[in-house]
A and B are shown apart, each in its own frame.
Chain A
Amino acid sequence: MNFRLSSEQESIQKAAAEFAQGEFDKDVALEHERKHSFPYEIWKRACELGFIGIHYPDNCGGQEYGVLENVLVAEAFCRQDSGLGIALSHADSTAEMILRFGTDEQKVKYLTPLCTGKAISSGAFTEPDHGSDIRSLGTTAVRDGDDYVINGSKMFISNGPIADFIIILCQTDLTIEPSYRGQSVIIVEKDSPGYTAADVGEKMGNKMTPTGELSFSDVRVPKANLIGKEGQGFYQALRILEEIRVEISAQALGIAQGAFDRAFAYVKQRKQFGRRLIDFQATQHTLSELMTKIETARLMVYKAAWAIDQEQIDPMLISMAKMHAARVAVEVADEAIQLFGGYGYMLEYEVERFYRDARLMGIFGGTREVQKNTIARELMK
Chain B
Amino acid sequence: MNIIVCVKQIADPEAPEESFTLDSEKNVFIPSAKITKVLNPFDEQAVEAALRIKDQSGAKVTAFSLGAGLDRAVTKKPVFMGADELILLEDEAFADGDSWSTARALAEGIKKNGSYDLILCGRQAADWNAGQVGLGIANFLGLPYVTVAKKIEIIDGKARVERVTSNGHEVVEVQLPAVITVSNELGQARYPAIKNIRAANKVQPVVWKPSDIGIDPSSVGKNGRRLHLLKLFKPVIQGTCEIMEGESTEEMAENLALTLRRAKIL
Tell whether, in the assembled complex, residue B194 and residue A49 are in contact, meaning their CB atoms are under 8 Å apart: yes
Tell me, yes or no, whether B27 is within 8 Å of chain A by CB: no
Tell whether, in the assembled complex, residue B195 and residue A11 are in contact, meaning their CB atoms are under 8 Å apart: no
Tell me, yes or no, whether A241 is within 8 Å of chain B by CB: no
Residues of B within 8 A of A15 (CB): 80, 191-194, 197
Residues of A within 8 A of B192 (CB): 11, 14-15, 18, 49
Tell me, yes or no, whether A7 is within 8 Å of chain B by CB: yes
Residues of A within 8 A of B195 (CB): 50, 63
Tell me, yes or no, whether B261 is within 8 Å of chain A by CB: no
Tell whether, in the assembled complex, residue A50 and residue B73 are in contact, meaning their CB atoms are under 8 Å apart: no
Tell me, yes or no, whether A54 is within 8 Å of chain B by CB: yes
Alpha-carbon distance between A11 and B80 when the two chains are bound, in angstroms: 9
Residues of A within 8 A of B80 (CB): 11, 15
Residues of B within 8 A of A63 (CB): 194-195, 198
Tell me, yes or no, whether A64 is within 8 Å of chain B by CB: yes
Tell whether, in the assembled complex, residue B194 and residue A8 are in contact, meaning their CB atoms are under 8 Å apart: no
Within 8 A of A (CB), among B188-215: 188, 191-195, 197-198, 200-201
Tell me, yes or no, whether B76 is within 8 Å of chain A by CB: yes
**Which of B73, B188, B194 meets A7, CB within 8 Å?**
B73
Alpha-carbon distance between A51 and B194 when the two chains are bound, in angstroms: 7
Alpha-carbon distance between A279 and B80 when the two chains are bound, in angstroms: 41
Alpha-carbon distance between A275 and B194 when the two chains are bound, in angstroms: 45
Residues of A within 8 A of B193 (CB): 15, 48-50
Q: Chain A 35-61, CB within 8 Å of chain B: the 1/0 string?
A: 000000000000011110010000000
Tell whether, in the assembled complex, residue B191 and residue A7 are in contact, meaning their CB atoms are under 8 Å apart: no
Given A14-B73, A15-B80: A7 touches B198 (CB 8 Å cut-off):
no
Tell whether, in the assembled complex, residue A54 and residue B191 are in contact, meaning their CB atoms are under 8 Å apart: no
Alpha-carbon distance between A291 and B182 when the two chains are bound, in angstroms: 40
Q: Which of A14, A54, A268 has the most CB of B within 10 A?
A: A14
Given contacts A48-B193, A63-B198, 13 further A-B contacts (CB under 8 A): A8-B198, A11-B72, A11-B76, A14-B192, A15-B194, A15-B197, A18-B191, A18-B192, A22-B188, A49-B192, A49-B193, A49-B194, A65-B194
Tell whether, in the assembled complex, residue B191 and residue A268 are in contact, meaning their CB atoms are under 8 Å apart: no
Tell me, yes or no, whether B16 is within 8 Å of chain A by CB: yes
Q: List 10 tightest A-B contacts by C-beta distance, closest first.
A: A50-B194, A15-B192, A8-B201, A10-B73, A11-B73, A7-B72, A49-B193, A63-B194, A19-B191, A11-B197
Residues of B within 8 A of A54 (CB): 194
Residues of A within 8 A of B197 (CB): 8, 11-12, 15
Within 8 A of B (CB), among A109-144: none
In the assembled complex, how far is the CB of residue B76 from the closest CB belonging to chain A, in whole angstroms? 7
**Which secondary structure dominates chain A's binding surface?**
helix
Tell whether, in the assembled complex, residue B194 and residue A12 are in contact, meaning their CB atoms are under 8 Å apart: yes
Within 8 A of A (CB), among B1-44: 16
Residues of A within 8 A of B191 (CB): 15, 18-19, 22, 49
Alpha-carbon distance between A65 and B73 when the two chains are bound, in angstroms: 17
Residues of B within 8 A of A49 (CB): 191-194
A45's closest neighbor in chain B, by CB?
Answer: B191
Residues of B within 8 A of A22 (CB): 188, 191
Residues of A within 8 A of B201 (CB): 7-8, 11
Residues of A within 8 A of B76 (CB): 11
Within 8 A of B (CB), among A9-38: 10-12, 14-15, 18-19, 22
Alpha-carbon distance between A54 and B226 when the two chains are bound, in angstroms: 48
Can you list 9 A-B pairs, Cβ within 8 angstroms, ordered by A? A7-B73, A8-B201, A15-B191, A15-B192, A22-B191, A49-B194, A50-B194, A51-B194, A65-B194
Q: Chain B 69-89, CB within 8 Å of chain A: the 1/0 string?
A: 000110010001000000000
Q: Chain B 140-156, CB within 8 Å of chain A: the 1/0 string?
A: 00000000000000000
Within 8 A of B (CB), among A57-112: 63-65
Tell whether, in the assembled complex, residue A268 and residue B194 are in contact, meaning their CB atoms are under 8 Å apart: no
In the assembled complex, how far is the CB of residue B96 from the closest CB belonging to chain A, in whole angstroms? 24
Residues of B within 8 A of A7 (CB): 72-73, 201
Residues of B within 8 A of A64 (CB): 198
In the assembled complex, how far is the CB of residue B181 from the closest CB belonging to chain A, in whole angstroms? 23
Alpha-carbon distance between A216 and B142 when the two chains are bound, in angstroms: 75
Residues of A within 8 A of B16 (CB): 268
Alpha-carbon distance between A167 and B73 when the two chains are bound, in angstroms: 38
Within 8 A of A (CB), among B118-163: none
Alpha-carbon distance between A284 and B77 when the two chains are bound, in angstroms: 36
In the assembled complex, how far is the CB of residue B72 from the closest CB belonging to chain A, in whole angstroms? 5
Q: Chain B 42-79, CB within 8 Å of chain A: the 1/0 string?
A: 00000000000000000000000000000011001000
Alpha-carbon distance between A63 and B192 when the two chains are bound, in angstroms: 14
In the assembled complex, how far is the CB of residue A146 from the closest CB belonging to chain B, in whole angstroms? 39
Alpha-carbon distance between A7 and B200 when the two chains are bound, in angstroms: 11
B191's closest neighbor in chain A, by CB?
Answer: A19
Alpha-carbon distance between A64 and B198 when the two chains are bound, in angstroms: 9
Residues of B within 8 A of A48 (CB): 193
In the assembled complex, how far is the CB of residue B45 from the closest CB belonging to chain A, in whole angstroms? 14
Q: Which of A50, A54, A65 has the most CB of B within 10 A?
A: A50
In the assembled complex, how far is the CB of residue B218 from the closest CB belonging to chain A, in whole angstroms? 31
Residues of A within 8 A of B73 (CB): 7, 10-11, 14
Alpha-carbon distance between A19 and B200 when the two chains are bound, in angstroms: 19
